[in-house]
Amino acid sequence: MTSSNYSISLKKLRDQFKEMPENATKEQIEHYTRAFILDILGSMIFPDTSGDGVPAMYLQFLQDLDKPKEYNWGATTLAVLYRQLSFGAERERLEMAGPLVLLQHWCWSRLRPGRPVDQDRNPISWGEPYPESCPTFGAKWCGQELYPLPHNSGVAFYRNLLDQVQDNEVSWEPYNGLLMSMPRRVRAEHAFWYSRVPLIHFWIIEFHYPDRVMRQLGRKQTIPPPPPHDESKLRQLHKINHTGKPRDWRKLHAEYVNQYNRIWQSMVDEEQHFDQASLPQYLHWFQQYGMYTVFLDARSTQGLWDPIPYPLDNFDWTGYMPSGPPLSRLALRSIKQVAWGIKCAMSRGWRKMGKILICTCYNNVQDINMEAKLSSMLSESGLPLCVDDIRSDDSASPFSTPKPIKPEEINMDVMDDWLYSNRGFTRYLSLGTDSNVLESQDKH
C-alpha cells in the first residue's frame, strides 16, 4: 500500500457526479459508485482539516468493485481517530479532523453531558424488527432531538462538565441487551472485538487495548496490563507522516502488519461476565490512572494528597490543566468539613459553629454535584434537609462542652465506611462523642 499527496476536491467531485444519467452504462455506474464512496471517505470517515478534500490514495481500493481489495476499514477508522485525539490534546493545536461523527456517537452513547434528548414519538429501535435489516446503531440519534445544553458554550465549558462526570452519569455497558441483536455478519466476527492488535492506516500505527474496556462488552473488568510498547517507540511512530516521497507502508510497518496477521494470538482471554463485586480493585487503579472524580463516592481517595502532576501526556505538553484532581480534593475536603459541621450542629455548645461550617461548604458541595451525598448525611443525622432550617441557638457555651472530633482524627475504617459507601454515618457521628453532648434536631 502506498499513499499519495494528491487530494481530490470534494466540491468538484460532487459537481462532476451530482446525478447519474438515466440508462447509465456499467462503466458509468462504477464511476459514480467510486465518487460516492470517495465522498463518504472524505467527508465522514477520514475528513481533513480543510473540509474539502479526499486523498487519491483510496482509489487503489476501488479499482475492481466486483472484487475489491480486502481492508479492515473499522480498524483503520479507529487508527485515524486515535491519532487525531492525540493531536487534539497538544497545547498549540486549534483543530482536529478524523471521524468525529463516530466520536460524537461514542460520547452520546456513554456520557450524559451534552447528550440530546430524543423527541421522536416513534424512536428507532436498534436490532428491530430484523437484525439483518436494522438501521445502524447511530441512527437513533438522527431523529428530532432536544439539546438541553447550549452548543456555543466553548471548549472550556464542556471540559469542565466532563471533568465532573461521576459514576452514575456514565453508561458503562452501552450495548447491554443489544449484542445478540446485531446483524449476523457482525456477531460472526465478535472474537476480533477482544484482539490486542495494532490499528493501521497507511503511515498511522495506533493500538487497540480491549482489556481496558471489557465492561462495555459485558465482560469482567480486570486491571489492564501495561502497554506492549514503551514511550520512545510511540514517539517514533507519531513522528512518521505521509509527506515527501511515496513509500510502501506495508514494508515500513512490516513488524506491525505481522502482528496484525497473528490476530488469533492476541485475543484477551476473559470469558467471565461482568460482576459488580469485581470492581473495587479496578476502581482503585482507575482513579490513579484515569479521572479522579468518577468513582469518588465508591472507593478510597488515597493518592489525592499527592502533588498534582503537570499536564504532560506521552508526547507533548497538553497546555490544559485538568481540573479532576483539584475537584476531587475540593470534594473530599468539603465533605469532611460538612461532616464535622453536622457533628458540631448536633453537639451542645457547638450548634452555631456547625451551621456556619455547613453553610460555608454548601456551595462547594453543589458545584461538585454531591448534593445527594449531603442530603443523605443530613437525613441520617436527623437534621433538616434545608440548611437554613438547621437550628443554631445554643443553651450551652462551647467552652463548657468538648469539641467534636474532626473526620481525619477518627478511626480511618469508620471514616471510609461513611465517606465512600454512604453507610455508617451515624457510627461516625457517635464515635468519640459523649452521648449527653450529642443531640438530634427535629426535621422541619
Give the number of other Cβ atoms within 10 Å of residue 444's Cβ. 11
Distances (CA, A) of 199 to 213, 256, 320: 16, 9, 28
Closest CA to 86 of 274, 314, 253: 314
Rounded to whole angstroms, the Cα distance separating 346 from 381 reads 8
What cell numbers appear for 250 in the block? 506495508
pLDDT at 41: 94
Residues 6 or more apart whose Cβ sits within 8 Å of residue 149: 113, 114, 161
CB-based burial, 103-122: b 16+ in 10 Å, e otherwise? eebeebbbeebbbeeeeeee
User: Would you give the end-to-end CA distance of the chain in angstroms?
Assistant: 74
Picking from 404, 409, 414, the residue whose alpha carbon sits closest to that of residue 439 is: 404
User: What are the domain boundaries of the chain?
Assistant: 72-274, 324-430
The SS3 of residue 200 is: strand
Residue among 341, 382, 321, 298 nearest 159 (CA): 321
pLDDT at 407: 62
Lowest model confidence (mean pLDDT) among 76-90, 137-151, 190-204: 137-151
The predicted model gives 380-403 an average pLDDT of: 76
73-87, 139-153, 255-269, 289-303: range with lowest mean pLDDT = 289-303
Over the stretch 116-157, which tens digit does the pLDDT of each residue have? 887 765 666 655 556 566 677 777 777 777 777 766 667 767
Q: Which residue has the higher pLDDT, 41 or 367?
A: 41
Rounded to an integer, what distance in angstroms lies between the CA atom of residue 105 and that of residue 126? 14
String of DSSP letters for 358-421: HHHHHHHHHHTT-HHHHHHHHHHHT--SSGGGS----SS-GGGSPPPPPGGGS-HHHHHHHHHH
SS3 state of residue 262 = coil
From CA 355, how far away is CA 378, in angstroms rounded? 12
Q: Say which residue, 295 or 36, is predicted with more confidence.
A: 36
DSSP per residue, 207-226: E--GGGSGGGGTB--PPPPP
Amino acid symbol at 19: E
Q: Which of 35-44, 189-198, 397-406 has the lowest mean pLDDT?
A: 397-406
β strands within 105-221, DSSP E: 117-118, 145-146, 198-201, 204-207
Closest among 435, 410, 443 to 424, alpha carbons compared: 410
Q: CA-CA distance, 254 to 263, in Å (whole number)?
A: 14
Among 163-172, 275-284, 416-425, where is mean pLDDT lowest? 416-425
3-class DSSP assignment, residue 134: coil
What pLDDT is recorded for position 287? 65
What's the pLDDT score for residue 69?
A: 80
* Residue 82: pLDDT band with limits 50, 70, 90: very high
pTM of the model: 0.67
What would the mean pLDDT of 11-25 be, rounded to a whole number?
Answer: 91
The DSSP-derived string for 273-299 is: BP-GGGHHHHHHHHHHHS-TTTTTTTS
In the chain, the amino acid numbered 109 is S
Instruction: Please give the residue that has the higher pLDDT: either 205 or 147.
Output: 205
**Locus of grid cell 481533513:** 48
Instruction: Check if the beta carbon of residue 117 is closer than 8 Å to that of residue 148.
Output: yes
